[in-house]
Every structure is written in C-alpha cells, then in structure tokens.
Amino acid sequence: MNDIANFVKTQPAEYAAICHVLRTEIDAVLTKATSKIWHAIPVWFIGENPVVGFSITSKKGVNLLFWNGQSFGEPALKAAGKFRAAQIQFTDVSQIDLKAFRRWLKKARTDIWDYKGLCKRA
C-alpha cells in the first residue's frame, strides 16, 4: 500500500470516503501526474510543480486545494493563501460535484503555476 492509500486509511470513515473519491478522480484525470505525501498531505505534481492536493481539518472536513485554482475562473473555488491557490471544502461525499471536479482537474493539467520556479527564486 502506498503513502496516499495509508493517509486515506487513517482518516475517520466519513472523510476517508471523500478522500477515496478525490484520489480516484485525480488519478483518472491526471494520468501523467506523480503523487506523494508532501508537507503531510497527498499532493499531485506535474513536472516539479504541485497542482492539486487534499488535507483534513477536523472542523471543516476535507479541503481540496488547487495550486493555480484562482486562475480557473470557477466560483466554487475560494482563494486560499497569498499566491494563486484556491480551495473547496467537503464534509460529505455527496457534496462532490464530479462534473465540476473533473473540469477543474482538466484545467489543472494545463494551467500550471510555476511554484517550483518561485521557490528557487525565493
């Protein structure tokens, strides 16, 4: 079992179900991406740049984050942090709009923020 599967397995049942759906869809759409646990959360990379990941917050549920999500023009994704990230939270698997999620993932495949380059310059 890989690190992301272990991460999902250790979550409370309601959050593990959400994580399973997110992971399955991410792997299906981002077929050329690599994934790993990065800063304690599952993250998918295209090249050296993170594009999508998710984390668990006890009060808000599962937080799905796109590193360049603010550029997607998707109102359901809310700005996060001081760069270009955007996120959405889920507390139940029924809240995941698969059509919208797949659209966001397709945007994440090609609309990649040069996070790695920013880190090198900093």
The overall average pLDDT reported for the chain is 91
CB atoms within 10 A of CB 57: 10
Element (H, E) at 55: strand 49-57
Architecture of domain 3-121: Alpha-Beta Complex (3.90)
Give pLDDT tens digits for 34-93. Answer: 999 999 999 999 999 999 999 998 778 999 999 999 999 999 999 998 788 999 999 999
pLDDT of residue 42: 98
**Cα separation, 100 vs 76, whole angstroms:** 9
Q: What pLDDT was estimated at residue 83?
A: 84
Say how far apart CA 41 and CA 52 lie, in whole Å: 11
Q: What is the pTM of this model?
A: 0.90
| pLDDT tens digit sequence for 49-65 | 999 999 998 778 999 99
Domain ranges of the chain: 3-121
